[in-house]
Amino acid sequence: MTIHNRTVKLNSGHTFPLVGYGTFGGNDAATQVYNGTKFALEAGYRHIDTAYLYRTEEAVGKAVRESDVPREEIFVTTKLWQTFHEPEHVRPACERSLKLLGFDYIDLYMMHWPMSWKFRGYEFDQLKVPNENGDIPTTNVPIIDTWRAMEGLVKAGLVKSIGVSNFSIAMLEELLKECEIKPAVNQLEIHPSLPQEEMLEYCNRQNIILTAYSPLANPGYSGVPSMLSDPMVLKIAEKYKKTPVQVLLNWGVSRGYAVIPKSVTPDRIKANLEYFEMDKEDVEAILAIGRRNPYRSCAELYVMLFSTIYNSSPLRDFGPSNNLFNEPL
């Protein structure tokens, strides 16, 4: 078995592994993520993706510290929640993540969503408080104000690189006009049904790397087309004698961005790291799936694995004030 060791150099100068281990989960996520991260590091992963909201930072940090892999060889991403967008809350939020992780620095600190919400405190039960209508009103904190506070984290040595998540091209353009430190990464939903070609082309021009969450398009959830049973994906899997999951993950890496699959099963964690070269015509054949019928799977999920505290559909989970993807009301 050949494992993924492909990396890219971020615009911050740091090395970024293109296959990572995702760590969001359910109520027992901490235990599962601790065990999963330990195995992932043993299997060869060197990129771990977490977030303050996931409540898995402590588990990730413990697994990293207990591993035989030197800390400097492991790239750890975590994220700033939107109740912390006011500049005075950015550093305290980052320091809380550092304390939970047990680290001296974070490799990549990202703005989790572009929306800003009212600050209610740093505790987990204060992160997502809807009003009586089930909506979480947004506040008017300019993105550049939050970003400048994040730039301060880099200058203070708490963070090596900074990035964004779920940003549109227009949002990136506005940020790039005013920022001192460019975002190194934009993390968003990418899979064959949502190939994000325009975004990928734009970020390539700007030297911003993409990370794909939901790289498998959330298979197994009601109402979501499964890419794992798509005839073209199955045909290509048979050609290479690989699983459909391995095909989709290698398809993403072949396009030049990072993928962060999540699993708690050791055999799957290991299999997700398997690398193989795909012919260009096969990459194009899978790309054609999304060109025919683009589909944002996360926005269509009403109940996700982590729906009690995390959902990639801002309208469904956060209310109409947060309709980032212009979903039908």
Binding site, annotated residues: 112
Three-state secondary structure string covering 11-28: CCCCEEECECEECCCCCC
CB atoms within 10 A of CB 274: 17
**Which of 21, 54, 257, 310 is flagged as catalytic?**
54
Q: Which two tokens stand for residue 308?
A: 């009690």
Closest by alpha carbon to 172, among 182, 180, 161?
Answer: 182
DSSP-assigned letter for residue 184: S
Contact yes or no for 243/273 (Cβ under 8 A):
no
Q: Which parts are annotated binding residues for substrate?
A: 112
Could you give the C-alpha distances from 82 to 89, 164, 184, 272, 314, in angstroms and in order? 10, 12, 19, 31, 12
Contact yes or no for 163/184 (Cβ under 8 A):
yes
Question: How buried is 205 (Cβ within 10 angstroms: 0-12 exposed, 13-18 middle, 19+ buried)?
Answer: exposed
* Phi, psi (deg, nearest 5) at residue 111: -75, 115
- Active site annotation includes 213: no
Angle between helices 29-43 and 57-66 (to 10 degrees): 30
Catalytic residues: 54
